[in-house]
Structure 1
Amino acid sequence: MRHERVLLEVIATTVADATAAARGGADRLELVTAMGEGGLTPSIGLIEAVVEAVDLPVNVIVRPHSRSFTYDSNDFAVMLRDVRAAKRAGAHAVVIGMLTPSREVDREGLQRAIDAADGMPLTFHRAFDEARDLMEAFDVLLGFDAVTNVLTSGGKPSVLDAQAQIEALVQRAHNTHCTVLAGAGLTVDRVGPFVGVTQVRAVHFGSGVRVDGKGLAPVDEDKVRRVRTLLDA
């Protein structure tokens, strides 16, 4: 079990990002727009173009605005349309998350998204990190077979400050259908020790594999390649 390859997911915001990440050895893309707002739903044109451009699974974020992770009926109507549209455009999965006003997983909203996805898997995104109790929220998500990944920074702004939390979540996910996808704040220099300590099997990079480490800069193919090499070591 120990020798399975660690999955590397890279955020792409353009076709150029996607192809650079693919050349560098990424295993999967998370496609977003508005990375400065934490990622919002990309256009249909972008989804279709990226799916055509790379031979990698393209996971598409469905997030209608950056105000909060608590959505009203209009927000949900938009999100469910976007889930169906992303699937038609060739997405491998959607990346989505929703909380109740009391900061628990919105089970009803999640089920509606799963129904709209119609067999397509879901990643529950970093709305998870704003949940009242991470372990309780994780247990709720484990009750949904369609949720195959949970993207988390362990409840901290940087996942590098949440190694104990990630380690605990990884242990909780052991022998389940769900993978802990660790992200936010990972850097090329720190990823090796971080994976060693936490035993996490999937990592998510945004700014850490971009030119000058800036979130709004392009993906740096060489940085992606260095991360891939370190993960394979």
Structure 2
Amino acid sequence: MIVALLNQKGGVGKTTLALNLAGELAGRGKRVTLIDADPQGSALDWSEQRSRCGLPRRFGVVGLARDTLHREAPELAKSVDNIIIDGPPRVAGLMRSALLAADLVLIPVQPSPLDGWASAEMLVLLGEARIYRPELVARFVLNRCDARTILARETAEMLAEHDPPLLAATIGQRVAFAAAAQTGRLVAERDDATLAAREIAALADELLRLPIGRSAP
């Protein structure tokens, strides 16, 4: 399965989700490669920091920030169980290539009307990709949120009116994510990040239950 985390809006936490989701799947015995398709290379930086800290590699991280991603990612997928793509913000060619590569598109949004409105651009690109890949599955995920707040509820209600649907799993605004990333770690590797690790595990559980299948090219 190839999962692409995409949103035209930057700063929604794509890299954090991509890394921790890859780590969660690897922790379940899956062979995982994370593709850093963001020209900023944040996932590659995290991987280098992990190496400097002497931590074992849990999954591979490769840089493929180019618009041939839709041809290269399926080839990489033949040797692993899961590919996670950390997508770019506002790079249309790369975004389209990632959409064509993916089996599942995960669209992280923060609890803000601005994030909901910005997702409209993403939905246009998703609709274009589905012309060629009608089986492409997509879901919104609320990230960096407190589900108890009025703003989070309002954002969830707004997204509930959209296709794709909103996942039940939500990821909170927790300092554990940033603290882990600074040392090349994942939240599942920190003793003080139980809630964050549980949220990532719940997200992985929900994604793995989705009906996903890739048609022959």
TM-score between the two structures when normalised by the length of structure 1: 0.41
Bigger RCO of structures 1 and 2 (CA < 8 A, at least 6 apart): 2
